[in-house]
Structure 1
Amino acid sequence: MFALLGKRWNGQVIDLLLQGPARFGQLVAALPGLSNRVLTERLTELQEAGLVARGDGQTYLLTERGEGLRPAMDALATWCVPGSPGAGADGEDQCGDNPCGNGAWEAFAQAGERVRSALEQGVQDAAGMPPSYLELLVQLRLAGGRMRMSELATATRSKPSRITHAVRRLEQAGWVVRDGDPSDGRGSAAAITERGTRAAEDALPAYLRVVHGMLQALTPGEQEQLRVLCEKISAGFAES
């Protein structure tokens, strides 16, 4: 879910819809630089995640689950208030000229985009796979090398259809094999191959370098603030 919220424009769209339903054209007007095509893509992603629903005509509104993000949004906004942990050394708001909430979301989205871009480039260069495939291989290794597809979907917080597609691609690359699950004839399981193990070992150092580099840029206190804010965001989804 962090990746979804960190993706450029998604946070700003949610922020606007927290203020009330809005038509497609109103969202475009409120977000300079956002094209109709990209907004359509973002709204589709948010609808698939169960955060946004489409009302009458071109009106979009938050679902009950989307409304559950309000506490997290408030926490990010508070973080930017002068005198709060998110303020600068001089006590001034560090979110810029945007309204505080929008500034927080913009910073969150930019940081998420840069981390994701660095992970994608590092893992792709090291092993020729996206980070999401590495996560699947790591989960398989942690589970002893084999997992049912439903278990893999739960472990990675992914939709079963996405897991099926990803595992099919991993199988084509020779990194996993699929077979019927002996404990459930209706299901199937994925098992990591020796080639998949080597690919994961090649990619993991690049992944960890990005993660460690990001954390090293933060003081221990800032890392704790980041942890608390991310947990609040996650809790907003869990409670809705």
Structure 2
Amino acid sequence: MNLSKEETLQKEAVAKREDRLDVVYFECLEIMKMPEKWKVDKRGNIIAVYPHPIVSREAYKIEGIQYLPHKSYYLPEVLMARHIYWEDLLNNDAKPDVAKIAKTRKPRKTNVVVTEELRAEIVRMANSGIPSKEIAEAVGASRTTVNNYIRKHRELIKEWAELKYLGLSAREIAEHYNVTEKTVWYHLQKEGYYTPKKTGFKRYSPEIIKGWVRLKDNGATYKEIAEAMGISDKVVKTYVLEYRKQAKETV
């Protein structure tokens, strides 16, 4: 079939664009393979920071490298299409129809690169009590992937709670993790570390404190619980007594 001059030019333009996106995509992979660095945070702690490529708005070039205290990186949508293309090419040894993939199927359920928006949606659905199986079906990822993102999110919020307990303000935490102060307070409250106008800020979630109460009821001493947690027995005692007090007030 003979193509018109206009169709030929359009085809060449698409090919050039894909080639350019491939260059950026593989540059991203190379940057993410670079070794981590060490950084002193605002509290004087030495932490590991990891390389993240800074991609231009059109995803046509790498504008730089930034180092952040986590390994997660989310590909722009156009680079995600190239990611799917190369995965299929390597797995099937045949060039797939990328346009067809984008229109007719969900992302692969293995090695899914979840976008920032999709990750936020996974967390929102989990906070609403939706089971991970249903979340996985809704977003087109595997259940393992969904559970991993939920676990990483909760570990991150626990880290924020630890920093808040050590004296950092919500604003300092927000600046360090490149989020808004409102986001910090929102997730601390959602995970049970903070209750406005009631008990204030808590370092440990209600589930952890309930576990301490059960251990105490089963005969464990404050010291034994504290040693298992690596904290002071006075801290355990304070939380357990406060929990019992609140339980009595709600009866």
Normalised TM-score (structure 2): 0.29
Which of structures 1 and 2 has the bigger CA Rg? Answer: 2
Between the two structures, name the one with larger relative contact order (CA 8 Å, sep ≥ 6). Answer: 1
Normalised TM-score (structure 1): 0.30
